[in-house]
């Protein structure tokens, strides 16, 4: 059958452009065009699409946040060369962290922290965390291109503020710094690593040499340090006993060949300082570890689910400082939360969610929660109704300043099994 050029124009049907770049990891399907949605924050940063590699995943319980983080945020990340994943697992399932079965499937152990003394320890004064933040790279030169990671002194100040229930005064801060330096020096002279108990000792028993350097008497310097000493002593003997008061356990490291480090903090009580302090300590230790390895240019994904509500006050400031180093450290922090209303707009957590330039917004049952997402991320008018009607496994994906995409998250049969969180309710979960 013959035709003319003008008639044949009708056969050239319009094709929709791809919703995303073809570089990165598969997320799912664009529900408007049926095409694959592909995204990776490190690739998007390289392509100048975003300026922050941090990721926010927001949505009600049961809408698919954890499934996305476990697959796209964890399993698929490990397919890439030199990509590592660190999970801070707060969600309890069948007596252990929710990521335990996933870590076991990938061949990785779980580093478990608990308040009964049977878990791992992470020394608050671990040498990985530089004394005053003067962390060095492998080259031996200071990290001049990025802000320095949090040091022992800043972390210790945050923990002390938590213990005192108020800001640390100038005199208390001076006594704390002198005690930290003395504890570190004395432990080194004795051929061991300093622990928090050494700082307490030097706060209560300052030396004459320390007092002389400050042109103060020993009794005056001791007076400055007594409240900090007693507050820290109480905390490490009660709330933090068996968690941060001894040398770091040998199993606490980032080097498992599977590429994943699973840190199970699900046994820590939500009430009290233990969870806040341990999360901040792990985050600080990891940031300093990555800074010391920055020459290798390896990329790391840090997954934190349902933990940011405890990141307030001085502890929250430590978190925010560490996460803001993402660019220089090759670190992408992926945060999963239920509701933006859980955070005050003045909190460090709110600032971190605001700075994330990859946003997955799953269904919200409350109009106020949906509206908070629209306002925080400047979504198009009317997006509230879309967010409130999203089915399980579907979300709005917004990358940088681009228009949001309606996405159905796709999982393989194996991924579906690994991301099942109904085991406890259905009676099919197995304890570790």
pLDDT in tens, 283-328: 889 888 888 766 666 899 999 887 665 566 677 777 777 777 777 7
**Could you tell me where the DSSP H helices lie in 56-169?**
65-70, 100-105, 152-164
Residue 147 pLDDT level (bands cut at 50, 70, 90): low
For the segment 129-134, the average pLDDT, to the nearest whole number, is: 66
Instruction: Between 12 and 37, name the one with better pLDDT.
Output: 37
CB 273 within 8 A of CB 235: yes
Strands 55-58 and 358-361: parallel
Q: How far apart are CA 216 and CA 208, in angstroms?
A: 9
Q: At what angle do helices 170-189 and 152-164 cross, to 10 degrees?
A: 130
Q: What is the pTM of this model?
A: 0.85
pLDDT reported for residue 294 = 62
Asked whether the predicted pLDDT for residue 256 surpasses 80, the reply is yes
Of the two residues 421 and 259, the one the predictor is more confident about is 259
69: helix, strand or coil: helix
Please give the residue that has the higher pLDDT: either 81 or 106.
106
Give the mean pLDDT of 204-223.
88
In this structure, are residues 129 and 195 in contact, taking their beta carbons and an 8 Å threshold? Answer: no
Phi, then psi, of 428 in degrees rounded to 5: -105, -5
pLDDT at 313: 67
Instruction: Reply yes or no on whether the pLDDT at 7 is more than 60.
Output: no
Average pLDDT over residues 37-42: 95
411 has pLDDT over 90? yes
Once rounded to an integer, what is the mean pLDDT over residues 14-26? 73
Using the predicted structure, report yes or no on whether residue 11 has a pLDDT greater than 70: no
Which sequence spans correspond to the domains of the chain? 11-113+253-425, 152-237
Average pLDDT, integer, range 322-344 = 83
**Cα–Cα distance measured from residue 379 to residue 398, given in angstroms and rounded to the nearest whole number:** 9
pLDDT at 273: 83
- With 0-12 CB in 10 A as exposed, 13-18 as middle and 19+ as buried, what is 320? middle
Question: 54 near 358, Cβ under 8 Å?
Answer: yes
pLDDT digits (tens, 9 = 90+) for 93-127: 888 999 999 999 999 999 999 988 889 999 999 99
Tell me the C-alpha distance between 405 and 240, whole Å: 44
Q: Say yes or no to pLDDT of 179 above 90.
A: yes
Where residue 63 falls among pLDDT bands split at 50, 70, 90?
very high
**pLDDT class for 143, splitting at 50, 70, 90?**
very low
Cβ atoms of residues 333 and 300 within 8 Å = no
Least confident window among 101-110, 178-187, 313-322, 386-395: 313-322
Task: For residue 153, give every residue at least 6 positions away whose Cβ sits within 8 Å of its Cβ, in sequence order, or none.
Answer: 131, 132, 133, 176, 177, 180
Does position 208 have pLDDT exceeding 80, yes or no? Answer: yes
Q: List strand residue ranges (DSSP E) for 34-98, in order.
A: 36-39, 55-58, 83-89, 92-93, 96-97
Sequence-distant (6+) residues with CB within 8 A of 268 are 90, 113, 114, 115, 274, 275, 278
Which of 197, 201, 244 has its CA nearest to residue 226?
Answer: 201
In this predicted model, which residue has the larger pLDDT, 16 or 358? 358
pLDDT of residue 425: 34
Place 374 in a pLDDT band, splitting at 50, 70 and 90.
very high
Across 79-93, 178-192, 228-242, 268-282, least confident range: 268-282
Looking at 44-58, 223-237, 418-432, which range is the least confident one? 418-432
Task: Output the pLDDT for position 17.
Answer: 64
pLDDT at 414 over 50: yes
Tokens for 121, please give them.
């320890």
C-beta of residue 307 within 8 angstroms of C-beta of residue 172: no
pLDDT value at position 263?
Answer: 95
Interatomic CA distance for residues 73 and 8, integer angstroms: 46
pLDDT at 150: 76
What's the mean pLDDT in 388-414?
A: 95
Mean pLDDT for all residues in the chain: 85
CA distance 190 to 205: 18
pLDDT above 90 for 422: no
DSSP state of 215: T
Tell me which fold the domain 11-113+253-425 belongs to: Rossmann fold (3.40.50)
Confidence (pLDDT) at 175: 94
């Amino acid at each position: 059958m013959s035709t003319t050029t003008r008639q044949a124009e009708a056969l050239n049907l319009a094709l929709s452009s791809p919703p995303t770049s073809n570089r990165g990891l598969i997320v799912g399907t664009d529900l408007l065009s049926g095409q694959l949605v592909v995204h990776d924050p490190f690739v998007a940063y390289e392509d100048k699409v975003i300026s922050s590699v941090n990721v926010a995943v927001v949505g009600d319980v049961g809408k698919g946040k954890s499934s996305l983080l476990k697959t796209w945020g964890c399993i698929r990340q490990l397919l890439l060369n030199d990509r590592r994943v660190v999970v801070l697992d707060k969600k309890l399932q069948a007596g252990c962290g929710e990521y335990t079965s996933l870590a076991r499937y990938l061949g990785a152990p779980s580093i478990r922290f608990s308040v009964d003394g049977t878990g791992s320890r992470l020394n608050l004064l671990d040498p990985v965390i530089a004394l005053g933040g003067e962390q060095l790279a492998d080259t031996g030169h200071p990290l001049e291109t990025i802000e320095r990671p949090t040091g022992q002194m800043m972390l210790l100040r945050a923990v002390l503020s938590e213990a005192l229930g108020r800001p640390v005064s100038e005199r208390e801060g001076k006594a704390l710094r002198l005690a930290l330096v003395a504890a570190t020096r004395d432990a080194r002279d004795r051929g061991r690593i300093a622990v928090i108990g050494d700082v307490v000792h030097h706060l209560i028993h300052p030396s004459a040499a320390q007092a002389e350097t400050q042109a103060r008497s020993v009794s005056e310097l001791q007076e400055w340090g007594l409240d900090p000493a007693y507050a820290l002593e109480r905390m490490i003997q009660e709330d933090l006993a068996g968690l941060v008061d001894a040398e770091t356990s040998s199993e606490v490291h980032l080097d498992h060949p599977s590429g994943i480090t699973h840190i199970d903090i699900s046994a820590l009580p939500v009430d009290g300082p233990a969870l806040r302090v341990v999360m901040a300590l792990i985050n600080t230790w990891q940031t300093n570890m990555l800074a010391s390895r920055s020459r290798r240019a390896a990329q790391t994904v840090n997954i934190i689910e349902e933990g940011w509500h405890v990141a307030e006050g001085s502890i929250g400031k430590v978190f925010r400082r560490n996460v803001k180093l993402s660019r220089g450290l090759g670190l992408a922090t992926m945060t999963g939360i239920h509701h933006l209303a859980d955070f005050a707009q003045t909190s460090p957590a709110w600032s971190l969610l605001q700075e994330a330039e990859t946003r997955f917004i799953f269904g919200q049952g409350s109009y106020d929660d949906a509206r908070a997402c629209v306002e925080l991320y400047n979504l198009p008018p009317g997006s509230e109704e879309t967010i409130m009607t999203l089915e399980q496994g579907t979300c709005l994906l917004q990358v940088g300043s681009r228009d949001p995409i309606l996405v159905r998250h796709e999982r393989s049969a194996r991924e579906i099994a690994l991301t099942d969180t109904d085991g406890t309710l259905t009676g099919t979960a197995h304890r570790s």
